[in-house]
Chain A
Amino acid sequence: MRSVRGMRIASIFAVGGLVLSAAACGEAPDEDNNAGSGAKKFSACMVTDVGGIDDKSFNTSAWKGLQDAKAANSNIDTKFVASKAEADYEPNLTQYVNQKCDFILAVGGLMANATSKIAKANPNQAFGIVDANPGDANVYPMQFDTAQAAFQAGYLAAGMSKSGKVGTYGGLPIPPVTIFMDGFVDGVAHYNKTKGKNVQALGWNKETQKGSFTNDFAKQDEGKKVSDALVAQGADIIMPVAGGSGLGTTSAAKASGGKYSTIWVDVDGCESTPDCSAIVTTVVKNIPEAVKEAVLKAAGGEKLQASPGFVGTLANNGVSIAPYHDFESKVPAELKAEVDKIKADIAAGTITVTSKAQPTK
């Protein structure tokens, strides 16, 4: 019967579509084939969160850190497995435990619970986790006090704003996002205090912890929608903390012909977006360096101390402000000097940046 034949072909389409979208999610898990490796190498194994290896954010950055470590020490072997759903975290971690990886890296705050559970079950296995601190002795936490660099960015934005209003918005109200927004708002407040100005920061209220969110980390139209509203409220510099959604803002800023500009987060926007000309600077979270250091230490036989773990700050270059690129000539030299001064002050402790979302020690 025709409908049966049709149904068969249709199911092939369905399966084909699913397979293709799965295939697009990066390489298949790099299975360990133990054979052939003469000397025992130090194996560093990474489990991504659901963002996948190509998220252009922390998964990509963490993987780059592993690759860098491998490049620095040829005795290190790296592999990763991509989690497609949160239900994959535990099986993926367990799989690497069974494969006797020397160091298992979990990426992202969402994996904290799964990692903690597997780590408790395997107390002699070394783990690492980015953006979380489960508090287990065998889990080395790598966290980033991005509020510090975002504070610099807020100050810079306030200094660059012509309208006297700047803005920020997030993907979801979760600590790794709001920490940027807290720092940004405080940076603006610091500018107002030192300069006696009244620059307003829109989109986030640090006291009430309420503000503008896209509720999404991928859709560009959601990002543009939110930044359009902030621009209509008068903001002329916007910091999106919403992953790929922020691209909607940068491309709209680029198309606006200089009416407003943006500050990017995580990875230097001039490397990770096509809209460099609209990006004043980036609040960089130096995940690759942290991961690389951790793996090199572990491979060198040093025990990674879960307490205090690693907290990226301005002082240890774990967080920073990216170069100004296209804005190099537009940012006044005086302002640049002040932003640098803030870095020194924060590193020295004369300015303290606080946020409810800051890493716990």
Chain B
Amino acid sequence: MSTMAVPDVAVAPVDEGFWTRGRKVGLTLLALGLLAAVLFGALATDQQARFTLSDDAAGAALEINGTIGAILFGIITIAAGAALLAGVPKRWFLPVLGVGLVGFVLSFLCWQVSAAPTGQNFMPLVNIIRGTFILALPLIFGALAGVLCERSGVVNVAIEGQLLMGAFSGALFGSISGSVWVGLVAAAIGGAFISLLLAIFAIRYLVDQVVIGIVLNLLAVGVTGFLYERLMQTNIERYNSAPRFGNWNIPLLEDIPVLGPALFRGNIFLYLGLLLVLVIHIALFRTRWGLRTRSVGEHPTAADTLGVKVLRVRYRNVLLAGVVAGIGGASYTLALYSFTKNMIGGKGFIALAALIFGRWNPTGALLAALFFGFADQLATYLGAINSVIPSQFLAMLPYLATILAVAGLVGRVRAPAADGKPYIKG
């Protein structure tokens, strides 16, 4: 992701012969579909697989016979694969692929839900969707922090540290002041503090950005861990019992079936995260700031020639990234949990993967984060219904998918050209 030689020229369409990417994907999809129809169909039981439109077993549900469902959705995947194999116009590629993958997942679910122990043959959709977003939330904030940094040419491996510092200062200052808002601001400042160090060392002192990122993660773990033991633990009541943001129901939107209860009865962090995706996306591609940021990230010399203050743009963006990640960290300590040592536990690195999977694009990062969140939530659900699939296997699914995706499923993944390269005016 850092300084590999990336050809800046637009990739010329290469003549790939018969086996174009579309056809290869189509063949894979076809195989998946066959697997789904035959294997899942055979393993599924005659039980009704219920997908309830609520938080639990109650209420209306979409129902389908397990075996029929597994075979039917498998056939849909086969059809999608066959379509790609036969060759479809380029703009149809993604929708058809999407249909194929969704069919595969649904076939799998029909098998799993119908094979669940008696009384558990249902999947609560509201719970699944809400869980997906909750699990994706730290990834969304983290990946956005990555977008802000890396689009301006600074590699941000310190996301983990920024989240952790945000969570810590949110908890500490929220507790001391007794105000969630003070906590939120403190969290943003905490994240920005790590960012400031990143900026100074990467921009001013030209230290290798990946190295300084990892160093800052270590520093954040050390500092917060030390203060946790020596300060917070001495008086938990005073230093580690921050007030919490409650859930806010959004009028009208909360009445939408399924999505309403799942998404619009959440806390401020969920709304903030989704809003930030929108704002950053628009800002990045529609405003002067965004154009400058991208130009600095792609070709700083050219930007400089045109009068853009390269270093100033980079400092500002790195600091902004810290603010965003800091708020993301606060979503841990100002919503539900009390602070504990190393509580982010690697989510910052997964956010980095979501950033790459999402092609350094805010919307892409959101979708990647949601995909990871869904895989995680699905694994949890399967554990709860006593599935035969080992939970470890499902836990590795998102990473497997990332490798596949980066290897070519989502097309060329290209980092901003100047990502990780310090700019020396000269």
A binds B: yes
- Assuming the contacts A3-B205, A21-B226, A205-B386, asked whether A251 and B218 have C-beta atoms less than 8 A apart, the reply is no
Q: Report the nearest A residue to B380, measured CB to CB.
A: A229
A356–B336 Cα distance when bound, in Å, is 36
Q: Which residue of the partner chain, among A21, A218, A232, A247, contacts B56 with CB atoms under 8 Å? A: A232
- Assuming the contacts A9-B205, A255-B244, asked whether A225 and B380 have C-beta atoms less than 8 A apart, the reply is yes
Nearest Cβ on chain B to A260's Cβ, whole angstroms: 11
A255–B243 Cα distance when bound, in Å, is 12
Tell whether, in the assembled complex, residue A210 and residue B215 are in contact, meaning their CB atoms are under 8 Å apart.
Answer: no
Q: Report the nearest B residue to A233, measured CB to CB.
A: B384
Tell whether, in the assembled complex, residue B221 and residue A17 are in contact, meaning their CB atoms are under 8 Å apart.
Answer: yes
* Interfacial chain A residues near B381, Cβ < 8 Å: 229, 232
Q: Which residue of the partner chain, among B336, B341, B391, contacts A224 with CB atoms under 8 Å? A: B336
What mask results when residues 201 to 222 of chain A are scored 1 for a CB within 8 Å of chain B, else 0?
Answer: 0110100101111011011111
Tell whether, in the assembled complex, residue B228 and residue A24 are in contact, meaning their CB atoms are under 8 Å apart.
Answer: yes
A317–B75 Cα distance when bound, in Å, is 60
Nearest Cβ on chain A to B233's Cβ, whole angstroms: 8
* Interfacial chain B residues near A20, Cβ < 8 Å: 222-223, 225-226
What mask results when residues 389 to 424 of chain B are scored 1 for a CB within 8 Å of chain A, else 0?
Answer: 001100100000000000000000000000000000
A3–B377 Cα distance when bound, in Å, is 44
Tell whether, in the assembled complex, residue A21 and residue B212 are in contact, meaning their CB atoms are under 8 Å apart.
Answer: no
B251 is an interface residue with CB less than 8 A from chain A: no
Nearest Cβ on chain B to A213's Cβ, whole angstroms: 6
Tell whether, in the assembled complex, residue A202 and residue B204 are in contact, meaning their CB atoms are under 8 Å apart.
Answer: no
* Interfacial chain A residues near B55, Cβ < 8 Å: 232
B286 is an interface residue with CB less than 8 A from chain A: no
- Assuming the contacts A6-B201, A225-B380, A228-B127, asked whether A215 and B223 have C-beta atoms less than 8 A apart, the reply is no
B220 is an interface residue with CB less than 8 A from chain A: yes
Q: Name the prevailing secondary structure of the A interface residues.
A: helix
B41 is an interface residue with CB less than 8 A from chain A: no
A230 is an interface residue with CB less than 8 A from chain B: yes
* Interfacial chain A residues near B392, Cβ < 8 Å: 215
Tell whether, in the assembled complex, residue A234 and residue B383 are in contact, meaning their CB atoms are under 8 Å apart.
Answer: no
A23–B201 Cα distance when bound, in Å, is 26
Nearest Cβ on chain B to A341's Cβ, whole angstroms: 29
A348 is an interface residue with CB less than 8 A from chain B: no
Tell whether, in the assembled complex, residue B215 and residue A232 are in contact, meaning their CB atoms are under 8 Å apart.
Answer: no
Tell whether, in the assembled complex, residue A203 and residue B226 are in contact, meaning their CB atoms are under 8 Å apart.
Answer: no
A234–B118 Cα distance when bound, in Å, is 13
A-B CB contacts (within 8 Å), total count: 162
* Interfacial chain A residues near B197, Cβ < 8 Å: 13
Nearest Cβ on chain B to A249's Cβ, whole angstroms: 11
A2–B340 Cα distance when bound, in Å, is 37
B219 is an interface residue with CB less than 8 A from chain A: yes
* Interfacial chain B residues near A202, Cβ < 8 Å: 120, 384, 386
What mask results when residues 158 to 186 of chain B are scored 1 for a CB within 8 Å of chain A, else 0?
Answer: 00000000000000000000000000000
Tell whether, in the assembled complex, residue B56 and residue A219 are in contact, meaning their CB atoms are under 8 Å apart.
Answer: no
A324–B332 Cα distance when bound, in Å, is 29
A220–B217 Cα distance when bound, in Å, is 20
* Interfacial chain B residues near A220, Cβ < 8 Å: 332, 336-337, 340, 343
What mask results when residues 224 to 267 of chain A are scored 1 for a CB within 8 Å of chain B, else 0?
Answer: 11101111111000000000100110011001000000000000
Pairs A–B under 8 Å by Cβ, sample size 24: A3-B206, A6-B201, A6-B207, A9-B201, A10-B207, A13-B197, A17-B215, A17-B219, A17-B222, A20-B222, A20-B223, A21-B226, A24-B229, A210-B386, A213-B383, A218-B340, A218-B342, A224-B336, A225-B134, A226-B383, A228-B380, A232-B56, A255-B244, A274-B338
10 cross-chain pairs, A with B, having the tightest CB-CB distances, nearest first = A6-B205, A17-B222, A20-B222, A232-B127, A17-B218, A17-B219, A212-B383, A20-B226, A229-B384, A3-B206
